[in-house]
Amino acid sequence: MKYCLRCLYPENHPLGLVFDDQGVCSGCRIHEEKDNLNWDNRLEKLKLICDQYRNKDRSSPDCIIPVSGGRDSYFIVDFVINVLKMRPLLVNYNSHYNTNLGIRNLNYLKTLLGADLMQCTVSPDKVKKITRETLRLKGSMYWHVIAGQTVFPVKTAVQFKVPLIIWGAHQGIDQVGMFSHEDEVEMTRKYRKEHDLMHLEAEDLIHLSSELSEEELEQYTYPSDKELETVGVRGIYLNNYIRWDSKKQHEKMIKKYNYESMVQQKTFDTYNDVDSFHYSGIHDEIKMLKFGYGKVSDHIAREIRLKRMTYEEGKDLVEKYNKIEVNDLNLFLNWIDMDQHDYYSLIKRHHYECNSNEPAFDNHSSAQNFESSLEAIDKVRLKKEENCEFKISSRVSKVIESQYVLIGRGWVD
């Protein structure tokens, strides 16, 4: 398997990577724009876009922001309210895999910033049924989360006639350089289906599964083109207009709002995805089994590109975290009522999605093969300018996380 000589990203990234003649991936090359673009000008362009959507009579929100209790939501909401001076409606799809900490983060978010929040909580029975089918069809326990998170904001925009949706970072830009920041790509049904949903829309799931009905998948069905055109729905990404740095953004939010973070199973990043029991657990294990690399590689690539980590430090971290055995499988299996044999039988069907000649499921060591000359690495190396330290921040002295919280207490005494 081929790896980027700068950021260690593998060639079989599901979003697609291109390598130049120096062995540097397209994600690294596009990331160089962050140090060259005039971000002041780009911010002014963003403000002009927002001016088109300000509701002068304040009868409805100016925009919609999808939020969770574990990613960049605090920063996005703070930025939209205090820098862009917009009045947002916050929307959240309930992932069902919630931690207590994530529930607290989400509830403090709406109270600290004074924004209204709407949440979509689909029946647990429906979610379990859908998840059994997506495990069978795509080896995915997270399809319902991604589908829900990308549909509910758009449905809300159509229902309340609030056309502007503000998202955080476009994954295809920030990870693999699929587009330039200057392309100013927006959220589309096509990108969502082909990349986020692995070519499996709700309508496809209805046709492929004899177990699921149209009614059970209604909350995951994207609005029609006519509905979108009538309201003029568009989704813009902030990372096209501001220099995106998830670590620094989270640390500002820890200082300003006491955003809570915690240790994750399969990565050193303590800020992202703390709302989910599984994103850095068995969800990441599935990613490793299907593609030969885990979430820690995403975080290493980001930190190397932002000049906080060296190639060698990243290599050591990949080897460290890829060896960790996850501890959350039984929690998921008890929830979905499935045994380990059936679970792994479903996942194994999809391990050939790896573009390597050797299936990642059968060869964990394939992700450890970083044999490259030091001379070639040094030619493309970025000089480390900062340390890469992630903090732990909590409102309580000890966080006990043992079971999902569907709807729970959102504060601490």
365/319 Cα distance (integer angstroms): 9
Residue 335 three-state SS: helix
What pLDDT is stored for residue 370 in this prediction? Answer: 54
Q: Which domains does the chain have, with CATH numbers?
A: 38-366 (3.40.50)
What pLDDT is stored for residue 362 in this prediction? Answer: 38
Residue 337 three-state SS: coil
Structure tokens at 271: 């800020």
| Radius of gyration, CA atoms only, the chain | 21
- Name the pTM for this structure: 0.93
From first to last of the 413 residues of the chain, give the pLDDT tens digit: 899 999 999 998 999 999 999 999 999 999 999 999 999 999 999 999 999 999 988 889 999 999 999 999 999 999 999 999 999 999 999 999 999 999 999 999 988 898 999 999 999 999 999 999 999 999 999 999 999 999 999 999 999 999 999 999 999 999 999 999 999 999 999 999 999 999 999 999 999 999 999 999 999 999 999 999 999 999 999 999 999 999 999 999 999 999 999 999 999 999 999 999 999 999 999 999 888 899 999 999 999 999 999 999 999 999 999 999 999 999 999 999 999 999 999 998 887 444 443 433 333 333 445 556 889 999 999 999 999 999 999 887 666 787 888 777 666 65
58/80 Cα distance (integer angstroms): 16
Structure tokens at 373: 């000359």
What pLDDT is stored for residue 410 in this prediction? Answer: 65
66 closest CA partner among 101, 114, 118, 104: 118
How many Cα atoms occupy the beta-carbon half-sphere of 16 within 13 Å? 8
What pLDDT is stored for residue 409 in this prediction? Answer: 66
What pLDDT is stored for residue 360 in this prediction? Answer: 39
| Residue 306 CB neighbour total at 10 angstroms | 22
Residues 366, 281 contacting (CB under 8 angstroms): no
Report in angstroms the alpha-carbon separations of 315 from 2, 7, 297, 301, 309: 14, 9, 9, 10, 10
Residues 118, 130 contacting (CB under 8 angstroms): no
| Furthest C-alpha separation in the chain | 63
Angle CA 247–44–87, to nearest 5? 75
